[in-house]
Amino acid sequence: MRIHALRRVLAGVAAAIIAVLPVGPAHAGTVGDAGTTGTISGRLQHRDGSPAWAYLTVFTTVGQNYAGSAYVPADGSFTVDVPAGSYKLAYSVRGRFEQWSGGATSFAAAVPVEVVAGQVTEVTETVLPTGSIAGRVTRADGSVAAGVPVYAGSGSAMTDGSGSYRIDDLLVGEYTVAFAGPRGVSQYAHGTLDPAAAERFAVLDGQVTTVDETLLPTGSVRIVAHDATTSEPLSGFCVYGAASGCAAGAELVLDGLFAGQRHFTVNIDDQLHLTVPDAAVTVTAGQTATLDVAMRRGASITATMVERAGGAATDGCVTVAKVGDLYGLDTLGFCSDVRPGPTPGSVVVGPLEPGTYQLLADPRDPALGLQWAGATGGTGDRAKARRVTVAAGDRVTAPAIRFDPATTIHGRVTDAATGAPVTACVSVVALAYDFAPRDNCPGHSEPDGTYSIPGVGPYAWPVEFVGHGYQWRWSGDAVNRRTATPVTAVADAQLRTGGGTLTGTVTDASGHPVGAIVVAVDAATGEALTFGAGPESTYTLTRIAPQRIKVYYRTTDGRTGWVGGADLAHARPIQIRDQRTVTVNIVIG
């Protein structure tokens, strides 16, 4: 596993000399189209004036869009033709570290290079000061640890036959040093598996910092699993975590694990038993510890899909929405027909936590239409979808899903204030909070604002519109799905800016910052309204459509929860008003 430095402290800066000169025979490089382009011509050099080689990439100052690239050879010279404009240059010096124009270490801090059409902008960039980290690695018994990958910042090395290593070309600053251990687990100097507890080592200009390390001792874990209700042993389970593997029978032995407490996720692909996410065991050096995992029974729903006309079996994907819980369409996630069900056109969805579910069915045949499975047929209204309740251990067969012919919903998305076209994500099903703004949403409006959603059943559907910089809205200018105007063919939308703001901090009980995604959801349905994550422990969600919301969070280490309650039903409702800011500080126990 590659580990990046937690912090770099610059010990010096290099100067960049930038000048704009008219094109003339004395200057290297030629301008392609003198009417629209200019040339960046320059030299990369060490502080003693000797040349340096690098890979050069040019980005626009606004938007950090790629604009060009060049190889800087051993003589340090380069020329790049680009359209007139403002740019920032990234140098991958010797392929070992990155610095930006003006001796900066980030795009944000880089000095812009202004390019004028028909002219040459000359740049001289001086390589930033660097140092090295070197040392020797041994095993717990004192023997040489050869072939161990070592990482510090963007640099890496492999220990040789004597256990020695050296990482050069590290920018001056502070680094943690990681040693790749058995089964993909890294150890950090000195003697810890926790990157937060790792020691930081100063790298000084032109000097070598010595970091020797002794690898921690190792032991083994024997993992078995059983049914939490019957205590019967389970076979064929898989584990993931400090090490991974699948049991060929009723047990799995993992060797070469660092001593200490280890955590595993245990899963069995029987579509009934629920995954155990954090099974802990203490590994003792030179010994084999046993981890016996009790796996709770969930439930499964078998659904059979047919064409309404003629009743022929047909393939499709069935996903479920749990009533009273967070919900959103995951366009890249689980699909039930990865493995066929027991009969043609059938799928098995599970394991599921006990509860009440609604089924969304998406046929593979493009001539058939998406539907929520209703009581007597398909529907576009989730509120009218049939509810299937399951208890622990249930294997339920749902009534047949009958697909109708597909139709298309279309329209145009514009700015409510200016009438200008808006590029937005469009969907007839509420989108998952962590997928909606990305390029993989079900459909987009085009640059002229027009969109179409093919492959939906011939029912009245609500349509969701998510545009960057706008409130999330639904057809009929509704603020959530429940109040949307269902449509069968045409839904135009005028998106609004403004809205309310939710802001606050995310910390643990001791006040330490916790990284997390924070989601504002419809207080009644758990469907996302917007989401975000801020630097360190802060977050700010803007442009929330005025309404009652509840707040869900997911930390970077996988913990989830609701503000003010254990679940959606018991979470604290919060009123969002236009042009108002609400502060909610989240404390994770």
pLDDT digits (tens, 9 = 90+) for 137-146: 999 999 999 9
Mean of the pLDDT values across residues 202-207? Answer: 98
Handedness of CA 505, 509, 513, 517 (dihedral sign): negative
Confidence (pLDDT) at 7: 25
Superfamily name with CATH number, domain 218-295: Carboxypeptidase-like, regulatory domain (2.60.40.1120)
Give 512 or 70, the one with higher predicted confidence.
70
Which residue, 118, 97, 115, 104, is CA-closest to 35?
Answer: 118
Confidence (pLDDT) at 439: 55
Same fold, 299-324+332-401 and 500-588: yes
The lowest-confidence range among 50-59, 509-518, 573-582 is: 509-518
Domain spans of the chain? 16-126, 130-214, 218-295, 299-324+332-401, 407-495, 500-588
Mean of the pLDDT values across residues 177-187? Answer: 88
DSSP 340-379: --SSTTEEEEEEE-SEEEEEEEEESSTTB-BEEEBSSSEE
Q: What is the dotted CATH code of the domain comprising 130-214?
A: 2.60.40.10
Q: What digits encode the pLDDT tens for the residues 269-315?
A: 999 999 999 899 999 999 999 999 999 999 999 999 999 999 999 99
Confidence (pLDDT) at 15: 33
Confidence (pLDDT) at 8: 28
CATH 2.60.40.10 fits 16-126, yes or no: yes
Which residue, 247, 169, 244, 246, is CA-closest to 205?
Answer: 169
Confidence (pLDDT) at 535: 66
Mean of the pLDDT values across residues 191-209? Answer: 94
Q: What digits encode the pLDDT tens for the residues 341-399?
A: 889 999 999 999 999 999 999 999 999 999 999 998 999 999 999 999 999 999 999 99
Residues 236, 238, 244, 250, Cα dihedral to 10°: -40
Share of the chain above pLDDT 70, in %: 91
Confidence (pLDDT) at 12: 33
Q: What digits encode the pLDDT tens for the residues 86-119?
A: 999 999 999 999 999 999 999 999 999 999 999 9
CA distances from 158 to 191, 203, 211 (A): 19, 19, 14
CATH 1.10.3720.10 fits 407-495, yes or no: no
Confidence (pLDDT) at 558: 82
- The architecture that CATH gives domain 500-588 is Sandwich (2.60)
Domain 299-324+332-401: CATH class, spelled out: mainly beta
Confidence (pLDDT) at 32: 40
- Which pLDDT band, with edges at 50, 70 and 90, does 33 fall under? very low
